[in-house]
Amino acid sequence: MADLVPVRRGERTPAQRERPWAQPRWDPFGEFEELWNRMTSRLLEGPGGAGWPQAWTPLVDVEETEDAWVFEMDLPGVRREDVQIEVAEQELRISGELKEKERVGVVRHRTRRTGQFSYLATLPAGVDPDRVEARFDNGVLTVRVPRPEENKPRRVKIE
C-alpha cells in the first residue's frame, strides 16, 4: 500500500497533499468572542486588579455661592476617622482610605472601589483655613470654604 502513495523524487517519505478543506479557516465569530472576553475580563476584574490603580478620586460637586465654595464628595462606606482634610496656602486636599471588608467566601465578581483616595482643589489667595467647615453625613462629605472678603462679588452701580 505504501508503494501507491506518491513520493517526491529523491525522498523515501510520502509527500503531503494539499487539502484545502483541512486548512484552518478564519472564524470571525470566534475572534470576536476572544476579543470580547479579553475586554470584559479586564473591565470586570475590579479595583486592585491589573489595569486598576489603587488610588482613586471620588466624585465631587463644587458649588459656588455668594459667600463660599461648597464641596460635596460621595464617600459611601468610608468611616469619618479615615478622612483627612487639609487647607494650606491655596490648596484644599481631601484624602483618606476606603478599607476593604473582610470576606469569608470566594469573590467571583468585584467592581466596588477600595484603597486610598485623594482630591485636590486650588483655592484663591486669602482663604482663611481656620474658617473652613466640614460635615460628614450619610456617606457625603461637605466642605464649606468661605470666600475671602476681597474675593466676594459686589454689584457695581451704573450711573
Instruction: Please report, for the chain, the start and end positions of each structural domain, with discontinuous segments joined by +.
Output: 26-52, 60-101+113-149
Contacts of 127 (CB under 8 A, 6+ apart): 87, 90, 145, 146, 147, 148
Q: Which residue has the higher pLDDT, 46 or 56?
A: 56
- Least confident span in 5-19, 53-67, 118-132: 5-19
What pLDDT does 87 receive?
92
CATH class of 60-101+113-149: mainly beta
Contacts of 45 (CB under 8 A, 6+ apart): 51, 52, 110
Place of cell 465569530: 29
For range 128-150, the mean pLDDT: 91
At 87, which amino acid appears? V
For range 25-48, the mean pLDDT: 74
Please spell the DSSP secondary structure of 92-136, one letter per residue.
EEEEEEEPPPP-SS------S--EEEEEEEE--TT--GGG-EEEE
Please list, residue by residue across 42-77, b when 16 or more beta carbons sit within 10 angstroms of its beta carbon and e when fewer do: eeeeebeeeebeeeeebeeeeeeeeebbebebebee
pTM for the full predicted model? 0.59
Distance CA 147, CA 76 (A): 28
The 3-state DSSP class for residue 141 equals strand
Phi first, then psi, for residue 39 (nearest 5°) are -65, -50
Q: List, for residues 78-97, the tens digit of each pLDDT value.
A: 999 999 999 987 899 999 99
Q: Which residue has the higher pLDDT, 138 or 159?
A: 138
For range 32-42, the mean pLDDT: 79
Q: Which residue has the higher pLDDT, 116 or 47?
A: 116
